[in-house]
């Protein structure tokens, strides 16, 4: 299944979810539904907990780049809304299965942290890490079509690119590097001595292949071993029952 197909599947599931709960939605967009109320895009317990932390609360209120007057996480396709629904739940510390799956005690959870990847100029770029755990950078994906492309002049401006990657092996399309988001995320993880986890849907083997194709270009095998993929379905199987059922109802993840 590709990103467009998954968008339609999640759109259908989210529409049924909204109708069962009498939630007001905007279904005029072909790729996603938009929940009229931001809270309706979240598990009630997660949304309440997010409100207790100003940084988390600010993050869920970022505006949508394509739809005026709407916040990103009102979309049924938002991978970051899915991420925060799970990891902002007040019972996250009691979900031993999730801790074991990530091999992390989840004692520290942050979202939207600057990656600060070094540039040749001595400055750092504006890379944003979706979620940071102790010793781990995480990238969240759901229906995104790919990891985007970027001109070679921009990618080759990263200070550590040549020392960290076999650059000649990195996937390219014309004069652009493919899987740009993964390149810069891996640079950030390695420069900050972190592991890297891609969180994605098991219905998206295309994203897993793209991730693996980029990880394979890392020069140091030790860095490759610090990269892995975890599926949302794996998390749904080991989180609390209420959250597991909610993920099934809203996203078809189960």
The overall average pLDDT reported for the chain is 96
Distance CA 197, CA 1 (A): 21
Distance, in Å, from the CA atom of 232 to the CA atom of 50, rounded to the nearest integer, reads 20
Name the helix (H) or strand (E) containing 138.
strand 136-140
The DSSP annotation for 45-101 comes to HHHHHHTT-HHHHHHTTPBPSSSTT-BGGGBTT-HHHHHHHHHTSTTGGG-HHHHHH
Average pLDDT rounded to a whole number, residues 45-73: 93
Largest CA distance in the chain: 55
- For residue 119, count CB atoms less than 10 angstroms from its CB and return exposed for 0-12, middle for 13-18, buried for 19 or more: middle
Q: What is the pLDDT of residue 126?
A: 86
Task: Over range 141-150, report the average pLDDT.
Answer: 96
pLDDT digits (tens, 9 = 90+) for 62-88: 998 888 889 999 999 999 999 999 999
Q: Are 150 and 174 in contact (CB under 8 A)?
A: no
pLDDT tens readout for residues 148-193: 999 999 999 999 999 999 999 999 999 999 999 999 999 999 999 9
Phi, psi of 200 (to 5 degrees): -150, 175
pLDDT digits (tens, 9 = 90+) for 109-123: 999 999 999 999 999
Are the C-beta atoms of 125 and 158 separated by less than 8 Å?
yes
Percent residues over pLDDT 70 in the chain: 100
């Amino acid at each position: 299944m590709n990103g467009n197909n998954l968008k339609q599947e999640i759109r259908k599931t989210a529409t049924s979810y909204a109708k069962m709960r009498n939630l007001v939605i905007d279904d005029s967009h072909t790729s996603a539904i938009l929940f009229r109320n931001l809270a309706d895009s979240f598990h009630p317990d997660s949304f309440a907990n997010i409100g207790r932390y100003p940084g988390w609360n600010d993050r869920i209120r970022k505006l949508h780049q394509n739809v005026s007057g709407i916040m990103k996480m009102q979309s049924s396709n938002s991978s970051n809304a899915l991420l925060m629904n799970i990891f902002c739940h007040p019972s996250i510390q009691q979900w031993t299965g999730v801790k074991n799956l990530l091999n992390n005690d989840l004692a520290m959870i942050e979202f939207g942290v600057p990656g600060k990847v070094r540039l040749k100029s001595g400055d750092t770029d504006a890379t944003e890490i979706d979620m940071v755990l102790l010793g781990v950078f995480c990238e969240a994906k759901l229906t995104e079509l790919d990891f985007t492309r970027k001109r070679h002049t921009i990618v080759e401006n990263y200070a550590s690119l040549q020392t960290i990657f076999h650059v000649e092996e990195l996937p390219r399309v014309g004069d652009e590097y493919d899987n740009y988001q993964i390149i810069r995320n891996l640079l950030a993880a390695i420069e900050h001595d972190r592991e890297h986890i891609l969180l994605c849907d098991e219905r998206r083997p295309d994203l897993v292949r793209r991730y693996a194709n980029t990880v394979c270009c890392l020069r140091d095998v030790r860095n490759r071993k610090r990269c892995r993929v975890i599926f949302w379905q794996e998390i749904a199987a080991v989180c609390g029952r209420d959250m597991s059922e909610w993920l099934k109802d809203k996203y078809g993840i189960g």
